[in-house]
Amino acid sequence: MAFWRSEKKSDKESSQPTSSADDGGSGGLLSRMRGGLQKTRRVLNTDIRDLFKSEGSLVDDALLEQLFARLVRTDMGGGPAAKIRDEIAKQYRGRVVQLDEILQTIADQTRQMLEQEHTDIQTADQPPTVILVVGVNGSGKTTSIGKLANHFHQSGKKVVLGAGDTFRAAAVEQLVIWSQRIGCDIVTGKPQADPASVAYQTVQQAIETNADIAIIDTAGRLQTQSNLMQELQKIRTVIGKKLEAAPHEVLLVLDATAGQNAISQAKGFSEAAGCTGIVLAKLDGSAKGGVVLPIREQFGLPVKFVGLGEGIDDLVKFDPAAFAEGLFS
Ligand SMILES: Nc1nc2c(ncn2[C@@H]2O[C@H](COP(=O)(O)OP(=O)(O)OP(=O)(O)O)[C@@H](O)[C@H]2O)c(=O)[nH]1
Ligand SMILES: [Mg+2]
């Protein structure tokens, strides 16, 4: 078991612009969310725009049906798309309406469907707060951990990372590089070490060094691999033995480009790993950003952060209003 204490880089090197996760409601957040949702918005707006003539269009059954089909294409799912269609029908049926009015109503409906409580990371009454990060292979776990750790570090918190993906040496190296960039501590195990033992050591290290936050990486796994899902349960149990009430968060990282597939992942993981929140990574690379709606609708799990790129600052707190506006404005 190795414990590395990274030297903090010089102020010049480490003076990354702080994470925008605190931009809540500001123009900065909205413009970043708009940027991240560009691909989804392009598909959606082109699709919906096509339905409306410049002088406006009559809202009748044919238009409502077309609208429904086009909303479904963003992977928002039949339930949310039907809800939006029904609201448009309720407000506008039989009237000639301009595109802007419809878009505003769709955005309002979307925001309402996405509204959620507990968007902040749940912190422990007494530090450290322990966050376990899980998800399928390549969904964006390690990168999201790097960005999240940077966010906490920038806001003055002492962070310890745990390289719980002991499956591949490269996975450990990837997290070590993040810790060096950020200037935070990291606990690593020997190759092929039991990930639960790395998790245990990480929590122990966080306690001993009076850290505020421990964030533990895990190897990617499929929600259908029962042995690997049991391994996650073991990691959770071991963490809980070291520190009561931990882990305080189990974040499921979903790849937004997976669209509807992300939903079956969310189901499997939330049942087996007891997830408490979602990080939706790679929203910038996806035309299927609408997938947030069925995730919220079906799992009741809060979406806490979204990934908007590969950079250290490309993680923002999920904000339903900014999301809805970014998608439809
Ligand atoms: N564009 C974009 N790329 C991202 C984002 N998050 C992660 N990536 C990229 O996605 C790829 C996989 O990211 P990782 O963080 O290694 O994913 P992982 O879940 O840890 O992967 P495994 O450990 O192999 O399961 C990398 O090339 C990342 O740079 C994001 O928000 N936007
Ligand atoms: Mg990884």
Assess contact for 250 and 134: CB atoms under 8 A: yes
**Mean pLDDT lowest for which of 14-23, 131-140, 273-282?**
14-23
pLDDT at 329: 74
- Residue 8: is its pLDDT beyond 50? no
Ligand 1 pocket at CB < 6 A: 135, 137-143, 165, 171, 220, 253, 281-282, 284-285, 307-310, 314
pLDDT at 24: 39
Mean pLDDT of all residues in 248-265: 91
Topology annotation, domain 1-15+25-329? Rossmann fold (3.40.50)
Dihedral angle over CA of 201, 236, 247, 128, nearest 10: -10
Query: Residue 139 C-alpha to ligand 2 middle, in angstroms?
Result: 8
Mean pLDDT of all residues in 191-203: 95
Kindly indicate the confidence band of residue 190, based on its pLDDT and cuts at 50, 70 and 90. confident
d(CA 237, CA 2): 22
Query: Residue 137 C-alpha to ligand 2 middle, in angstroms?
Result: 7
Query: Residue 199 C-alpha to ligand 1 middle, in angstroms?
Result: 21
Confirm whether pTM is higher than 0.85. yes
Nearest CA to ligand 1 atom 10: 140
pLDDT at 88: 96
More confident call, 74 vs 168? 168
Query: pLDDT tens digits, residue range 49-108?
Result: 888 888 899 999 999 999 999 888 888 889 999 999 999 999 999 999 999 999 999 999
How many alpha carbons fall within 13 Å on the CB side of residue 276? 16
The pocket of ion ligand 2, defined by CB under 5 A, consists of 141-142, 171
pLDDT at 75: 83
Could you tell me which residues come within 8 angstroms of residue 2 by beta carbon, excluding any fewer than 6 positions away?
A: 187, 188, 189
pLDDT at 312: 95
- Residue 10: is its pLDDT beyond 60? no
To test the pocket of ligand 1, the residue of 20, 141, 143 to mutate (highest count of ligand atoms within 8 Å of its CB) is 143
pLDDT at 192: 85
The residues spanned by each domain of the chain are 1-15+25-329
- Residue 236: is its pLDDT beyond 90? yes
Mean pLDDT of all residues in 249-276: 90
pLDDT at 18: 32
Query: Residue 174 C-alpha to ligand 2 middle, in angstroms?
Result: 8
pLDDT at 308: 93
pLDDT at 15: 30
Q: What is the mean pLDDT of the chain?
A: 88
